[in-house]
């Protein structure tokens, strides 16, 4: 049964943008290079199930998540394609991973040794830490021991091997090239190369076709966001943002010069002003440090004023508007647009974090 939402604050997800971003990437790839859609963290806040279905419809062949719970959410939604868990999975998840056909990351010799009493078949991708410093096998001897351990256990099926680049979205290439060399050296230790070799995240997929191997991991750019500000001007094709954030005016009043607004009385009206209240606050992901940002109303930018509250915020209007007037916080209205990169700059962070900050009390509404 679908849920009814009464508060007029929501995230709009354009599924056609997801499909378009995948199809445009696919046009740049070699014919035998597959797209692994990265839908971890609730598909970067966009909604994992709906995004997964749209990505698969557009040409992605498999999915990747960060945790067992995320993989199970997709399986429980009826998604049957290969799913890779990129993060560290506890050994207690092995049985269900085996039964639900979920591929796990083998990221250390210790993790593999911990599976020694499990004799049902299960699939793994071996993770090489070529210079990211997170999880993964670093040294040749550890990899050789891991491969020998696996060879003695026919029920462990190695279907992939991968690494992750730390600086593919940056102008300097020294560290990137060092990682490439490390990965390719360790790849030579495999007596039989796994069927899926993948190294490229969005940044590498868009910049380095030579690193695409059998599959690319399409994450942030699948959602229409450049991997970094530096890359934004050099993308091989334009990206279409999938997410926009909407609300509407719930209260309007005219205040006199000198009136203070909000917690701490940090804003003082410089003249008689029209003030509107919006039903969105930091509990939704409109963080307090965004107090100096604008929103769109009637196609024009107007400023947020005072401190952003947990559930509400206030804006200063150019004129009186009606209750129910539509407001866009992220996205386009008429000819104006507020981009997620603006918020990222204001918060001194990256758009990835903005997307993941939006809380679950914001409904995701999908247009197809």
Catalytic residue selected from 40, 123, 127, 241 = 40
| Residue the block writes with tokens 């210079």 | 131
Give the β-pairing of 267-268 and 243-248: unpaired
Nearest CA to 366 among 94, 89, 10?
A: 10
Active-site residue, 40 included: yes
Taking CA atoms, 157 is separated from 86, 96, 192, 238, in Å, by 16, 16, 12, 39
Cross-strand pairs, 162: 127, 198
Task: Kindly report the number of other CB atoms within 10 A of residue 311's CB atom.
Answer: 16
Q: Give the span between the Cα atoms of 10 and 314, in whole angstroms.
A: 17
Active-site residue, 263 included: yes
Taking CA atoms, 323 is separated from 159, 182, 260, 276, in Å, by 57, 60, 22, 9
As given in the structure block, the two tokens for residue 98 are 């085996």
Q: Give the span between the Cα atoms of 205 and 216, in whole angstroms.
A: 6
CA dihedral of 354, 24, 196, 174, whole degrees rounded to 10: -70
Q: Give the span between the Cα atoms of 347 and 226, in whole angstroms.
A: 17
Catalytic residue selected from 5, 254, 263, 368 = 263
Catalytic residues: 40, 263
């Amino acid at each position: 049964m679908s849920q009814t939402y009464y508060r007029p604050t929501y995230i709009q997800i354009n599924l056609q943008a997801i499909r378009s971003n995948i199809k445009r990437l696919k046009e740049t790839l070699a014919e035998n290079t597959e797209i692994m859609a990265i839908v971890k963290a609730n598909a970067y806040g966009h909604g994992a199930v709906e995004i997964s279905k749209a990505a698969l419809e557009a040409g992605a062949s498999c999915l990747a998540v960060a945790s067992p719970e995320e993989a199970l959410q997709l399986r429980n939604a009826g998604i049957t394609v290969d799913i890779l868990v990129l993060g560290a999975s506890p050994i207690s998840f092995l049985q269900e991973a085996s039964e639900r056909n979920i591929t796990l990351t083998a990221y250390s010799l210790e993790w593999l040794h911990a599976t020694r009493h499990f004799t049902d078949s299960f699939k793994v991708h071996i993770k090489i830490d070529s210079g990211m410093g997170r999880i993964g096998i670093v040294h040749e001897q550890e990899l050789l021991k891991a491969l020998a351990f696996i060879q003695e256990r026919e029920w462990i099926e190695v279907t992939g091997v991968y690494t992750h680049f730390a600086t593919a979205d940056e102008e300097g290439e020294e560290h990137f090239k060092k990682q490439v060399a490390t990965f390719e050296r360790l790849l030579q230790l495999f007596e039989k190369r796994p069927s899926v070799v993948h190294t490229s995240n969005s940044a590498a997929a868009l910049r380095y076709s030579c690193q695409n191997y059998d599959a690319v991991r399409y994450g942030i750019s699948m959602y229409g966001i450049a991997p970094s500000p530096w890359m934004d001007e050099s993308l091989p094709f334009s990206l279409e943002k999938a997410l926009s954030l909407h609300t509407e005016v719930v209260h309007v009043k005219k205040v006199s010069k000198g009136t203070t607004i909000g917690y701490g009385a940090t804003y003082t009206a410089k003249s008689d002003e029209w003030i509107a209240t919006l039903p969105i606050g930091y509990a939704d992901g409109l963080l307090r440090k965004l107090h100096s940002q604008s929103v769109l109303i009637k196609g024009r930018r107007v400023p947020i004023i005072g401190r952003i509250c947990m559930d509400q915020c206030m804006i200063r209007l150019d004129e009186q508007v009606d209750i129910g007037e539509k407001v866009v916080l992220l996205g386009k209205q008429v000819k104006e647009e507020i981009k997620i990169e603006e918020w990222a700059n204001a918060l001194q962070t990256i758009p990835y974090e903005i997307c993941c900050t939006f809380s679950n009390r914001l409904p995701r509404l999908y247009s197809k």
